[in-house]
Amino acid sequence: MARITAIHIYQHDLPVVGPAYKMALSSLTALDTTLVEIVTDTSISGFGETCPLGPTYQPAHASGARAALQDIAPHLIGMDPIQTLNISRRMDNALSGHAYAKAAIDIALWDLSGKLLGQRVCDLLGGATATSVPSYYAIGITSPEEAARIAREKQAEGYARLQLKIGGRDIEEDIAATRKLFEVRAPGTRIALDANRSLTTRDAVLLSSACRDLNFVLEQPCDSYGEIRALAGKLHHPLYLDECATDLATISGAIHDNVADGFGMKTTRVGGLSPMRAVRDLCHATNRPLSCDDAWGGDILAAACVHMGATVHPHLLEGVWIAAPYISGHYDSDNPVTIENGRITVPTAPGLGITPDTSAWTHVATAS
């Protein structure tokens, strides 16, 4: 039986390639990611990561993740890393909330368990359905013409699903960008419009009504669950929850209330792979599509999302979004998580399948 002997906490900057990536409520030029390494008395380590999308996307921020991890880590020394449920309960006893920080520990435990048992994380999560998973490309807020240009390019690269960011401007511009994108949409390409909670209920209704002839999903149009619930019966398009899908209880309630037709899920938002497994099973039981994504992050988070996505039934998987096309550099140059022809190959080595070079990271703290 292995025991946790040390937990190292690191920080790393992930620069955005090219111009700033624009969403309705923020503009990104770099990401501040937090990484953990859990070391055992077997000398085998597991790695996890959490990367809040700036301080305003959700109630989560990078320095908060590191502060929370420094409070939690000492309580986990000596525990059996395979007992993920017991460790989750110990984390909750040590610190209430902060699921996004605890997610880094949870992901590292799954990586470690896979290495200790000689199994891939997707196998421990129930088994992969294929050797690769579909990805999708998110087009930032831009002009209608530029959105159409990017859509052509990404469809030629093999993406079968595109997401268009909307919001933060006059709703007529969003309508124009949507229509321009559909002018170049190839048959079979699925489209999602993601407002990142920036629209009023009025503008969400106006957009859906003005584009009722176009086939797309509307993702997280408004800020609060109450606003989104008020849209029931007023839209002409399926509605997906993203930022409001914060935990299993909320997701279950949205399904019960017939508010959500699907979900844009973020692994670290709900606390890691352990709660994401429960979300996956709930969506399967209720026939709700979902994506397996994260806010951003590097190869560790990307691998975690790919392993989870590989276990989702193909007809329910909206795709696995990873930040690789938007940022520079990889943690493991021999096994980078990348997209080819619109798909991501599931790593084949035990655990997450990533052996990061920690020398590139800034050490923050160690609990032992």
| Catalytically annotated residues | 165, 266
Nearest to 325 by CA among 159, 147, 108, 192: 159
d(CA 268, CA 49): 8
Structure tokens at 241: 């929850």
Q: 255's torsion region: left (phi>0), alpha (psi -120 to 50) or beta?
A: alpha
Q: How far is CA 99 from the centre of its chain?
A: 14
d(CA 300, CA 138): 20
CA distances from 127 to 174, 237, 300, 308, 314 (A): 40, 33, 19, 9, 13
Per-residue burial over 178-191, b = 16 or more CB atoms within 10 Å of its CB, e = otherwise:
bebbbebbeeebbb
Q: Strand 190-194 vs strand 161-165: parallel, antiparallel, or unpaired?
A: parallel
d(CA 55, CA 62): 8
d(CA 220, CA 249): 18
d(CA 113, CA 319): 25
Q: Strand 217-219 vs strand 27-28: parallel, antiparallel, or unpaired?
A: unpaired
d(CA 153, CA 215): 20
d(CA 34, CA 197): 25
What is the per-residue DSSP string for 274-316? HHHHHHHHHHHHHT--EEEE-SS--HHHHHHHHHHHHHS-TTT
CA distances from 152 to 155, 190, 324 (A): 5, 13, 20
Structure tokens at 70: 């420094």
